[in-house]
Amino acid sequence: DAGITQSPRHKVTETGTPVTLRCHQTENHRYMYWYRQDPGHGLRLIHYSYGVKDTDKGEVSDGYSVSRSKTEDFLLTLESATSSQTSVYFCAISEYGGGYEQYFGPGTRLTVT
Amino acid sequence: ILNVEQSPQSLHVQEGDSTNFTCSFPSSNFYALHWYRWETAKSPEALFVMTLNGDEKKKGRISATLNTKEGYSYLYIKGSQPEDSATYLCALTDSGGSNYKLTFGKGTLLTVNP
């Protein structure tokens, strides 16, 4: 299994609070991704990174920011959590980008009350 | 936003049946087509990545084909087993913008009854 961990694995937070999710990899892969999984929508890309300090938006980036200060860590921040951001969040990594397999982390279940 | 469609949304088969499902995608700016298997309470796992028109990939009882000119891919499962029960996702990478990212379809949920 690819060495990808996500923390926390579960979190309950209140509307309006900031939340940061962490993705950590030990594979030294260049590309990292954050997705959210919602019923009826499948997996949707929030943000991705194509190198240290190089990030770009996905299709559902509003209300989220990311940072990647080193190869192994990709942080997702919900600046002011809303109930619509209740979801399961998956991190993924890829060695060479969109033409190659992605390996997924175990997911973080976030509930915003 | 790219439109990646999968059909059917769900499928129930009996153990031993062979089955197939479809992924449709825009044929322009094609770069790669991915298939993932996603079991309940687990993370998606890659099955195949295909990049060339006419590609065929096989892993055990599961195989996939790709037609980039008409914009579709088929996933086949031969002799379905209960452990094949999962959601099967396809995802497209296109070369029109960034070829680093994937756009996923909503998946086909396969249930194999013993």
Q: Residue A2 — pLDDT band, cuts 50, 70, 90?
A: low
Residues of A in contact with B9 (CB under 8 A): none
Flag if A98 and B93 touch (Cβ within 8 Å): yes
Q: With bands split at pLDDT 50, 70 and 90, how would you rate the model's confidence at B78? A: very high
Contact B103 A59 (CB under 8 A): yes
Q: Does residue B66 register a pLDDT over 60?
A: yes
CB contact set of A94 (below 8 Å; sequence gap of 6+) = A29, A30, A31, A32, A33, A100, A101, A102, A103, B100
Yes or no: say if A43 and A34 are a contact pair by the CB < 8 Å rule: no
For residue B48, what is the nearest residue in chain A, using CA coordinates? Answer: A101
CB within 8 Å of B42: residues ≥ 6 apart: none
DSSP A62: T
CB contact burial B41-69 (16+ within 10 A = b; e otherwise) = eebbebbbbbeeeebebeeeebbbbbebe
**Is pLDDT above 60 for A104?**
yes
Cα B46 to Cα A41, A100, A104, A108, B1, distances in angstroms: 19, 10, 9, 20, 23
Q: Is B55 helix (H, G, I), strand (E, B) or coil?
A: coil
- The whole-number average pLDDT for the span A27-50 is 94
Average pLDDT taken over every residue of chain B: 94
From residue A47, give the alpha-carbon distance in Å to each of A12, A91, B8, B68, B93.
22, 10, 29, 27, 15
The answer to whether the beta carbons of residues B77 and B64 sit under 8 Å apart is no
Average pLDDT score, chain A: 95
Tell me which residue has tokens 């029109």. B96
Q: Identify the CA nearest to A34 among candidates A82, A85, A80.
A: A85
Least CA distance to B87: which residue of chain A?
A: A42
| Residue A26 burial class via C-beta count within 10 angstroms: exposed 0-12, middle 13-18, buried 19 and up | exposed
CA closest to A46 among chain B residues: B101
